[in-house]
Amino acid sequence: MIDERDKPEPREPREPLERRGRGVSPGLGIGPAYVVDRREVNIPHTLIERDDVEEELKRFRAALRGAQDQLEAVKGRLPQGEHRQILKAQQMMLRDPGLIQRTETWIREELIGAEWAVSKTVDEIRAKLAEVGDEYFQARQYDVAFLGERLITTLGGEEKDAINPPAGAVIVAHDLSPADTSQLSQAQVAGIITEEGGTTSHTAIIARALRIPAVVGVADLLSAVDTGDLVIVDGVHGLAHVRPTPEQIAALEVEVERYEAFELEIAKEHALPAQTDDGENIRLRANLALDDENEVARGFGAEGVGLYRTEFMFMNRDEAPSDEEHYRMAKALLQRWAPHPVRVRTFDLGSDKQCRSLDMGEAEHNPAMGLRSMRLALRRPEQFLAQLRGLLRAGLHGPLQIMLPLVSGLEELAAGRAAIDEARAQLRELGLPHADEVSVGVMIEVPSAAITADLMARHVDFMSIGTNDLIQYTLAIDRDNDEVNYLYEPLHPAILRLIKTVCDAGDRHRVPVSLCGEMAADPRYTWVLVGLGLRELSMQASAIPVVKNIIRASTLDEMEALAAAVLACDTAADARRLVIQEMGERFPEHLQHAAGVDIDIEDEPISSVGRVVRE
């Protein structure tokens, strides 16, 4: 089942090769490849007799217990921390009623064997997750696939072997399971390269936590590498060099030395505030979506949670979460992050985030502009109120903030606030303890909301700019469409003006404004964002140390000067050139340190209109 490649047949020496993927854990590593290929799990396609149904169900339930025990055993071998959380999440998935009931239905009604039934259920769940455009949910499909694989091997009477790379190896795999990654350590592994996976995959999370350089999403890798081939993993630029030349190795050594010195330097600041050289405090908070990311985020020095995405709670199940689940989730977060605030976003489903636990209605012609986010919540009052009741109850345990997504105007905001009042009234009637005062705010993701931020500001406790969607809607660019991705431009004058408009409105009405889109995590934009007036940035936690170091080394004056210059640019190309020149000169290492940040300034004339698209 576990088909780790045997020693390859002797063959002609193969050419050096460079492959591009996505750098998800910065750092550089070199070592012999240790190839793990687990794409082929043998699934017996057996039909059973009606009389054998009970026996088959028993076999399935025994496999569920067996898989639980295996995960427990792996967990027991690990120290406390985020690795254990990841295995716990896997164990919870094994108890998921959606997975269990669906598999049992296949066995009972279609009379198919347990292995086949598991694989069909897993395929269904994966297909649903894959439909979701959001990278985070896409990544979860690999977790489900690993669980399915574990169950099928357990049904066949086997246990999944642990991988056992020699010290200093670079793991090369189609993908790694959470159990695999949680057994790795920095001492043992020089890097990880996988064909699958995204920024929020478990491989990425663990690699970042263990500070193992990692590149994911490298196409057709396994056919190009043999165990023992020398490999360089460049998690900064998202590159894999297979069988590097002596020149590439020499260049790497210089890079590694520089990189490690820089790492040490910024790590010293984890516990220090993100305060500019002239005393302005900037709050750096974490964007989270899963329990197991909490400890990682704390380790990177996040001062609370600036965006908790609750969508995952609704995925991969038949019923929407109950009040109690929302309550327990938010209470646990508050206890973990005390005394810092935790900002929970109510469910932002619809459009690219589909799930079966909410009735999503008819397929839409234009889902990004359809029944999604706040609009969907207002049409599904039962589930929305359940979430709000859970959150209001949790509000007793700490500084909880409720954030309403994709609000386009005052009417939607008023309707959202009315729902919060209604949930509160219901709790009062039920005699359930809850917070009377909870901070309520909106995400500013639609141009109409940004332009009317002064009106919004009168009715909220905070505003948070979601640039991922704001750019999509302002520039009319589907954020998941590769064909138009070249137009996705955070420094477009329209975007900069909208951010400034929101910051100014917040200022005038004394309402704090934060920014929680991907832009916040990109060190190229730190000066511009603070210079435009933002005093809170929320981002993937691993980006915090670099952004903090930039802030601590800068003055507000210089940030404001760059923001003003950028605001005066006619085109995004001019703004980009200016920002990269300034930031590249002042913070070359920071820009090189951030995974996946492009710092090439194209050879285009100043004030060029548009960009040449090369096929």
Stretch that binds Mg ion, among 42-50, 134-142, 309-317, 458-466 (CB under 5 A): 458-466
The number of beta carbons lying within 10 Å of the beta carbon of residue 573 is 22
Give me the amino acid identity at 444. Answer: I
Q: Which does 235 bind (CB under 5 to 8 A by kind): Mg ion, ligand PEP, none?
A: none
Binders of ligand PEP among residues 327 to 346 (CB under 6 A) are none
Residue nearest to Mg ion (CB): 469
Stretch that binds Mg ion, among 226-234, 445-453, 519-527, 554-562 (CB under 5 A): 445-453
Residues in contact with 279: Cβ distance below 8 Å, sequence separation at least 6, in sequence order: none
Residues in contact with 499: Cβ distance below 8 Å, sequence separation at least 6, in sequence order: 450, 465, 467, 515, 529, 532, 534
- In the set 83, 202, 340, 434, the catalytic residue is 202
C-alpha to C-alpha distance for 240 and 231, rounded to whole angstroms: 7
Nearer to ligand PEP, 423 or 465 (CB): 465
Nearer to ligand PEP, 31 or 506 (CB): 506
Give me the amino acid identity at 465. Answer: I
Q: Does 375 bind ligand PEP (CB under 6 A)?
A: no
In angstroms, what is the minimal distance from the CB of 469 to ligand PEP? Answer: 3
How many Cα neighbours within 13 Å face the side chain of 164? 4
Cis peptide leading into residue 339 (ω within 30°)? yes
Binders of ligand PEP among residues 347 to 366 (CB under 6 A) are 348
Nearest to 180 by CA among 143, 155, 213, 154: 143
Binders of ligand PEP among residues 506 to 525 (CB under 6 A) are 516-517
Residue nearest to ligand PEP (CB): 466
Binders of ligand PEP among residues 438 to 467 (CB under 6 A) are 445, 466-467
Q: Packing angle between helix 114-131 and helix 53-76, nearest 10 degrees?
A: 60
* 355 in catalytic set: no
Q: Which does 467 bind (CB under 5 to 8 A by kind): Mg ion, ligand PEP, none?
A: ligand PEP
* 516 in catalytic set: yes
Of positions 341, 466, 506, 531, contacts Mg ion by CB under 5 A: 466
Positive or negative: CA dihedral 28, 33, 38, 40: positive
Instruction: List the x/- string, 393-432, binding to Mg ion by CB under 5 A.
Output: ----------------------------------------
- In the set 516, 569, 590, 593, the catalytic residue is 516
C-alpha to C-alpha distance for 364 and 571, rounded to whole angstroms: 34
C-alpha to C-alpha distance for 514 and 345, rounded to whole angstroms: 14
Number of residues counted as binding ligand PEP (CB under 6 A)? 10
- How far, in Å, are 18, 188, 202, 348, 365 from residue 85 at the CA level? 35, 21, 11, 25, 40
Nearer to Mg ion, 301 or 350 (CB): 350
C-alpha to C-alpha distance for 527 and 559, rounded to whole angstroms: 5
C-alpha to C-alpha distance for 485 and 481, rounded to whole angstroms: 6
Nearer to ligand PEP, 142 or 308 (CB): 308
Q: Does 302 bind ligand PEP (CB under 6 A)?
A: no
Q: Which residues bind Mg ion (CB under 5 A)?
A: 445, 466, 469
Q: Which residues bind ligand PEP (CB under 6 A)?
A: 307, 309, 348, 445, 466-469, 516-517
- Residues annotated as catalytic are 202, 516
